[in-house]
Structure 1
Amino acid sequence: MRTFDAEERWSREASPTPIEAPCARRLCGSSMLASVLAAVHLLAGCAGSAPGSSAALGPAPTTPAEPHPVEDRRTFAERAPARTRLLAQIDPKALPAGNIGAVVGWDAERCGVDVEKSISRVQIAVAEPAEIRADILGSLTIEDVGCLLEAEPDGGRLRAGPLEIVALPRGGVRVATPRALADGPGANVALARRLDQALSRSGAAAVADLGPADAAIELVATVTDHLEARLSSPGRSDASLAGARLAEALATARQDGAAGLEPLEIVAAPPDGLVMRVKIATDAALAVATPLAVRRHVIESFKVPSGSMSPTVMPGDHLFVLKDRPGERAGRGDVIVFRSPADPRQRFIKRIIATGGDRVQIDAGGLRINGRQVPSELVGAEHVIPGDGGHPYELWQETLGERRYPVLRPPGGPAPSAPGPAPSAPGPAPSASGPAPSASGPAPSASIDAKVPRGSVYVLGDNRDNSYDSRHFGPVPVEAIEGIAAVIYFSIDTNGLSRWDRIGLPVR
Structure 2
Amino acid sequence: MVDTANSKAATPKTVKPAPKGDSLMESVKTIIMALSIALFLRIFLFQPFNIPSESMRPGLLVGDYLWTSKWDYGYSNASIPFSPPILNGRVMGKAPERGDVVVFKLPSDPRQDYIKRLIGMPGDRIQVVGGQVILNGTPVKQEMLEPETITEQNGNVRTATRFRETLPNGKSYVTYDFETNGMFDDTQVFVVPEGHYFMMGDNRDNSTDSRADPILQSGVGFVPAENLVGRGRIVLLSFDETTRFYLPWTWFTGLRWDRLAVPIR
What TM-score do the two structures reach when normalised by structure 1?
0.38
Q: Which residue of 2 aligns with 1:294?
A: 41
1:350 pairs with one of 116, 119, 130: 116
Q: Does 1:392 align with 2:159?
A: yes
Residues 451-503 of structure 1 deviation map (CA, whole Å, 9 limit, x = unaligned): 11111110000011111100113210011010100000000000010001011
2:202 pairs with one of 462, 465, 472: 462
Cα separation, 2, equivalents of 1:445 and 1:457: 19
Asked if structure 1 preserves the Cα contact closer than 8 Å seen for 2:99 and 2:117, the reply is: yes
User: Structure 1 counterpart of 2:196, which letter?
Assistant: S
- SS of the residue corresponding to residue 189 of structure 2 reads strand
Cα separation, 1, equivalents of 2:258 and 2:191: 40
Residues 44-84 of structure 1 deviation map (CA, whole Å, 9 limit, x = unaligned): xxxxxxxxxxxx996xxxxxxxxxxxxxxxxxxxxxxxxxx
Cα separation, 1, equivalents of 2:117 and 2:204: 11
Cα separation, 1, equivalents of 2:149 and 2:143: 14
- SS of the residue corresponding to residue 470 of structure 1 reads coil
Asked if structure 2 preserves the Cα contact closer than 8 Å seen for 1:376 and 1:397, the reply is: yes
Cα separation, 2, equivalents of 1:446 and 1:393: 19
Identity %: 34
Q: Does 1:450 align with 2:194?
A: no
Cα separation, 2, equivalents of 1:369 and 1:57: 59
Please, what is the CA RMSD of the aligned residues?
A: 2.3
Asked if structure 1 preserves the Cα contact closer than 8 Å seen for 2:131 and 2:186, the reply is: no
Cα separation, 2, equivalents of 1:330 and 1:399: 17
1:317 pairs with one of 39, 48, 64: 64
Q: Provide structure 1 residue ranges, at least 5 long, that are not aligned to the other structure.
A: 1-55, 59-280, 415-419, 422-443
Asked if structure 2 preserves the Cα contact closer than 8 Å seen for 1:383 and 1:395, the reply is: no
Runs of 4+ residues deviating >4 angstroms: 385-388
Cα separation, 2, equivalents of 1:458 and 1:504: 28
Query: How many angstroms does 1:448 deviate by?
Result: 2.1
Q: Does 1:377 align with 2:143?
A: yes
Do the aligned partners of residues 499 and 57 (structure 1) sit closer, same or farther apart at CA in structure 2, a change above 3 Å counting? farther
Q: Does 1:364 align with 2:135?
A: no
1:476 pairs with one of 216, 223, 236: 223
Cα separation, 2, equivalents of 1:463 and 1:283: 45
User: Structure 1 counterpart of 2:263, which letter?
Assistant: P
Cα separation, 2, equivalents of 1:463 and 1:365: 11
User: Structure 2 counterpart of 1:315, which letter?
Assistant: V
Q: Does 1:506 align with 2:263?
A: yes
User: Structure 2 counterpart of 1:409, which letter?
Assistant: D
User: Structure 2 counterpart of 1:462, which letter?
Assistant: D
Do the aligned partners of residues 353 and 57 (structure 1) sit closer, same or farther apart at CA in structure 2, a change above 3 Å counting? farther
Bigger Rg over Cα: 2
What TM-score do the two structures reach when normalised by structure 2?
0.71
Query: How many angstroms does 1:361 deviate by?
Result: 1.6
Cα separation, 2, equivalents of 1:365 and 1:302: 29
Do the aligned partners of residues 337 and 368 (structure 1) sit closer, same or farther apart at CA in structure 2, a change above 3 Å counting? same
Query: How do 1:70-469 and structure 2 match up within 5 A?
Result: 283-326=30-73, 328-364=94-130, 366-385=132-151, 388-400=155-167, 401-410=169-178, 413=180, 420-421=182-183, 446-469=186-209
Query: How many angstroms does 1:326 deviate by?
Result: 2.3
Greater percentage in helix: 1
Asked if structure 1 preserves the Cα contact closer than 8 Å seen for 2:127 and 2:186, the reply is: no
User: Structure 1 counterpart of 2:176, which letter?
Assistant: L
Q: Provide structure 2 residue ranges, at least 5 long, that are not aligned to the other structure.
A: 1-24, 75-93, 215-220, 244-253
Greater relative CO, 1 or 2 (CA 8 Å, sep 6+): 2
Cα separation, 2, equivalents of 1:406 and 1:389: 21
1:490 pairs with one of 211, 234, 237: 237
